[in-house]
Amino acid sequence: MKRLQSRKALVIGAAGRDNMGQVIARRLAAEGAQVLIAGRHPVELERLAAEIGGLATVADITDSGSLDALAAHVGETWGGVDIVVNATGWGLLKPFALTTEDELRRMADLQFIGPFLFFQKLLPLVGDGGSLVQISSATATIMLDDHAAYMGTKAGFDHVMRCIANEYGERGIRANSISPGLTETPMTARAKAVPGVWESYLARYPLGRVGTSEDIAAAVIWLSGDDCFMTGQNLQVNGGLTLRGNPSGAEIDRAVLEATGKPRPRPWATAGVARA
Per-10-residue mean pLDDT, the chain, length 276: 95 98 98 98 98 98 98 98 98 96 98 98 98 98 97 98 98 98 90 92 97 98 98 98 97 95 77 47
Q: Quote the CA–CA distance of 240 and 236 in Å, as a whole number.
A: 8
Check residue 269 and give its pLDDT: 46
Alpha-helix runs per DSSP H in 123-247: 148-168, 189-192, 197-202, 213-224, 241-244
> Are 93 and 271 a contacting pair, CB within 8 Å?
yes
Q: Quote the CA–CA distance of 129 and 147 in Å, as a whole number.
A: 35
pTM: 0.95
Cβ neighbors of 245 (< 8 A, separation 6 or more) are 142, 143, 204
Check residue 271 and give its pLDDT: 45
CA distances from 86 to 25, 34, 252 (A): 11, 16, 30
Q: Quote the CA–CA distance of 32 and 67 in Å, as a whole number.
A: 26
